[in-house]
Amino acid sequence: MKMMTPQSEAELAEIIAGASGPLCIQGGGTRGRTVEGDVLSTCSLTGVELYEPGALTLVVKAGTPVAEVEALLAAENQRLAFEPMDHRGLLGTEGEPTIGGVIAANVSGPRRIQTGAARDHLLGVRFVDGSGQAVKNGGRVMKNVTGYDLVKLLCGAHGALGVLTEVSLKVLPRAEAMATVAVADVGLNQAVAAMSASLGSPYDVTGAAYDPDSKTAFVRVEGFADSVSYRSKKLAAELAGFGETSISAEGEPLWQGIRDVSAFHGREGDVWRISVKPSDAVELAPRLEAEALQFDWGGGLIWARVAEGNDLRARVNVPGHATLVRASAGTRSRLGVFQPQPGLLAAISEGLRRQFDPKGIFNPGLMG
C-alpha cells in the first residue's frame, strides 16, 4: 500500500484516471478508517479560493484544515454554524480534520437542530469522479439553483462517489452571547420531555442534550446579549416544572464536550451513533445495555459505549439507523460501519456508485 498526495486537482484526476485497483480516499486521516487499496490523500489541496464576509460565502479547497477555516471566519466574527465535531479524542487518532472530510461525512454538531446539517450550508462542490473527470456542481452564491443537486449527494457519501477538491459554503455570524439552561436531577423521560418543550418554545434554542451520569438536561440559547438574557430566563421559568433549573453563561467547554462526546474519550468499548425519533429514545435506551450513554439533538441522537463486539443494531427495533463509529477492524468488518439499506434503496445506491465510480475503486466496501 502506498500513499499518494496530489498537489492539484489535475494531478488527482490523472491518478484516478490511471488507477486500476482500489483507492482509500483520505482527508486528514482523523477518522481511523482504512479500506483496501492505496491511500489517496487530499491533504495537499489547501487554500482559500474566495471569502466574501459580506455575502456570507466561503470557497475553500477540500484539504484545508478545519482549524484554519474557523480561524479565518473568527477574524470576521463569523463561524461554521453547523458546529462540526472533532473525532480525534473519541477515536484516539491524530492528523488534522479537513473541511473536505467534514463535508464528505456530513459532520454536524449540537446546533444541527436549529441551523441544519453540514449539507444545508453547502452551496457548491468540485470533485473528481471515478473516471478521472473533474466535475463542478452548485455555485458560489446562496441563490444559485441551476442544474442537478449533486452537492447534497456528495455530502455524506464518504468518498464513495467522488473525491472532493473544493467546497463552497454558507457561513453565519458568531453569536454575541450564549447561555445554557440546566435542568437538574431528571431521568431520561423527563429530560426528553423538557428538551422537546424547549425546542417547541419561541426561544430559538440552539442545543438540547442530556447527560445520564449527572441526570442533567442542557438547553442552549444564543444571540444578542439582551435577547439571550431575556430568553434564557423565560425558558428556565417554563422548564422549572421538570426539575430544578439554573442558568450559566460559561457554556463553551460544555457544548464542545457534547459535540465531541468527551465523556467517552480514553474509555474502552465500541462506540455507536444512533439516530432515532426523540420520543423513541426513552424506550430504546434500556435495551442497548450500554456501559455509557449521551443524548443530543433533543434525544434524537444517542451515543452509546458498549462492550466490544456487540451488534447494537439487533437491539434497535425502532425506525432509525445505527452507525458503528469506533470498534476493532474485525468488528467493523463483521458488522459493517453503516446501517444496512433496504433492498430498493440499496439498489439505487449501487446504481449511483456505478455511474459515478464505474471502476469501483473508491473506498470499496465502506458503505456496504
Question: Which tens digits make up the pLDDT trace of 197-218?
Answer: 999 999 999 999 999 999 999 9
* Predicted confidence (pLDDT) per residue in 268-314, tens digit: 999 999 999 999 999 999 999 999 999 999 999 999 999 999 999 98
Burial class (CB within 10 angstroms; exposed 0-12, middle 13-18, buried 19+) of 114: middle
Query: What is the reported pLDDT for 368?
Result: 62
Give dist(CA 292, CA 277) in Å, integer.
Answer: 20
- pLDDT for 89 equals 96
Judge whether residue 236 has pLDDT over 70.
Answer: yes
- Residue 54: pLDDT above 60? yes
CB 69, CB 80: distance < 8 Å: yes
Residue 165, SS3 per DSSP: strand
User: What crossing angle do the helices spanning 188-199 and 278-287 adopt, rounded to 10°?
Assistant: 160
Q: Tell me the average pLDDT across 110-124.
A: 96
- Whether the per-residue pLDDT at 327 is higher than 90: the answer is yes
Average pLDDT, the chain: 93
Phi, psi of 131 (to 5 degrees): -95, 0
Q: Which residue has the cell 456496504?
A: 368
Please count the CA atoms within 13 angstroms of the CA of 171 that sit on its side-chain side: 27
Instruction: Enumerate the domain spans of the chain.
Output: 3-173, 177-260, 262-335
The predicted pLDDT at position 32 comes to 75
Q: What is the DSSP letter of 131?
A: T
Q: Provide the residue count of the chain.
A: 368
Q: Which residue has the higher pLDDT, 317 or 239?
A: 239
Instruction: State pTM to two decimals.
Output: 0.93
d(CA 246, CA 199): 18
Q: How far is CA 15 from CA 126, 133, 157, 212, in A?
A: 16, 11, 20, 49
Domain 177-260 architecture: 2-Layer Sandwich (3.30)
* 262-335: CATH number: 3.30.70
**Residue 143, pLDDT above cutoff 80:** no
Give percent of the chain with pLDDT exceeding 70.
Answer: 96
Secondary structure element (H or E) that encloses residue 126, with its range: strand 122-128
Q: What is the pLDDT of residue 81?
A: 96
CA distance 356 to 148: 14
59-112 residue pLDDT tens: 999 999 999 999 999 999 999 999 999 999 999 999 999 999 999 999 999 999
Cα torsion at 87, 88, 94, 95 (round to 10°)?
A: 30
Q: Which of 147-151, 167-171, 201-205, 218-222 has the lowest mean pLDDT?
A: 147-151
Asked if 3-173 and 177-260 have one fold, the answer is no
pLDDT at 65: 97
Q: How confident is the model at residue 317 (pLDDT cuts 50, 70, 90)?
A: confident
> CB neighbours (10 Å) of residue 18?
8
| Res. 147: pLDDT tops 70 | no
Segment 1-24 mean pLDDT: 93
Is residue 365 predicted with pLDDT exceeding 70? yes
pLDDT > 70? residue 146: no
Percent of the chain clearing pLDDT 90 (strictly above): 85
Per the model's pLDDT, the better-predicted residue between 142 and 270 turns out to be 270
CATH class of 3-173: alpha beta
Instruction: List the one residue out of 173, 166, 145, 155 whose CA is nearest residue 55.
Output: 173
- Residue 184 β-bridge partners: 244
Confidence of residue 139 (pLDDT cuts 50, 70, 90): low
* Alpha carbons 280 and 316: distance in angstroms, whole number: 10
What's residue 314's pLDDT? 87
pLDDT confidence of residue 148: 58
In order of 77, 113, 156, the CA distances from 81 in angstroms are 12, 11, 17
How high is the pLDDT of residue 319?
Answer: 83
Q: Which residue has the cell 417554563?
A: 238
Distance CA 50, CA 293 (A): 41
Query: Which residue, 2, 6, 64, 68, is CA-closest to 37?
Result: 2
